[in-house]
């Protein structure tokens, strides 16, 4: 059974601070995906990383896939109140046909 | 393009009843996956359908079933509802290619009393 451990579970910071969310597993994934979910809505795909060591940037968000494709991180620079939400990492195997293994999520609150 | 739509958005059922949830994927997407989200267990995979065939199934009891129609729309059914089935049920669609991410609908909030 593939498991993803996401940390921290909760993060409460002030506007302008930087933060990093980690996603770790003992299993190798073909891809690691990051989602953001707001209350009452479904998760929204932020990024998919596929290659070991890959780094992707999305404005103030930087996503990294570990060299061994077992871990990933999400770094937010100069957080804003609009970044508040539930951040989820999800791993996908090469032939898993739509089956994503999700981490438990990180609830981020950015205070003005 | 319109996003993934799910109906109904909210549902209240009694223990022992059955329920059917509906999902319409993004136009052109042939893969539909279903997930259950609860505060305790997080997001858990139920099953995935592609071209009317179930390709993958999670570790849920047989009370949970699904199907996909020729227009890619999908339904999931839960029979003999239990209190523990109370959850947000999410549907996600994908063109059918792996490693490209999933596009989720807003979910159906099911409450079992």
- CB contact under 8 Å between B44 and A102, yes or no, is yes
Q: Per-residue pLDDT for A41 more than 90?
A: yes
pLDDT tens figures, B7-52: 999 999 999 999 999 999 999 999 999 999 999 999 999 999 999 9
Name chain A contacts of B96, Cβ cutoff 8 Å: none
Can you give the pLDDT at residue B99? Answer: 65
Any residues with CB less than 8 A from the CB of A32 and at least 6 apart, and which? A23, A48, A49, A65, A69, A72, A89, A90, A91, A92
Q: Per-residue pLDDT for A21 more than 70?
A: yes
Interface check B33 vs A, CB under 8 A: yes
Can you give the pLDDT at residue B98? Answer: 64
**Quick one: what percent of chain A has pLDDT higher than 90?**
80
The chain A residue lying nearest B91, using CA atoms, is: A42
Interface check B12 vs A, CB under 8 A: no
Mean pLDDT of A29-40: 92
Distance CA B77, CA B67 (A): 9
Can you give the pLDDT at residue A93? Answer: 78
Residues forming beta bridges with residue B38, ordered by sequence position? B42
């Amino acid at each position: 059974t593939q498991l993803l451990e996401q940390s921290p579970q909760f993060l409460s910071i002030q506007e302008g601070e930087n933060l990093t969310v980690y996603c770790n597993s003992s299993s190798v994934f073909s891809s690691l995906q990051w989602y953001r979910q707001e209350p009452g809505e479904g998760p929204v795909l932020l990024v998919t990383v596929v290659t070991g060591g890959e780094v992707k940037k999305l404005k103030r968000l930087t996503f990294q896939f570990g060299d061994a494709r077992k871990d990933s991180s999400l770094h937010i620079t100069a957080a804003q109140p609009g970044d508040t939400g539930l951040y989820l990492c999800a791993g996908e195997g090469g032939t898993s046909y739509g089956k994503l293994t999700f981490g438990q999520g990180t609830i981020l609150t950015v205070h003005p | 393009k319109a996003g993934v739509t799910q109906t109904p958005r909210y549902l209240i059922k009694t223990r022992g009843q059955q329920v059917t949830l509906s999902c319409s994927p993004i136009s052109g997407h042939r893969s539909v996956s279903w997930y259950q989200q609860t505060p305790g267990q997080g997001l858990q995979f139920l099953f995935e359908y592609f071209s009317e065939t179930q390709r993958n199934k999670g570790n849920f009891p047989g009370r949970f079933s699904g199907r996909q129609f020729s227009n890619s729309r999908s339904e999931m059914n839960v029979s003999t509802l239990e209190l523990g089935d109370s959850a947000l049920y999410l549907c996600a669609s994908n063109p059918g290619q792996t490693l490209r991410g999933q596009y989720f609908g807003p979910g159906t909030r099911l409450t079992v009393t």
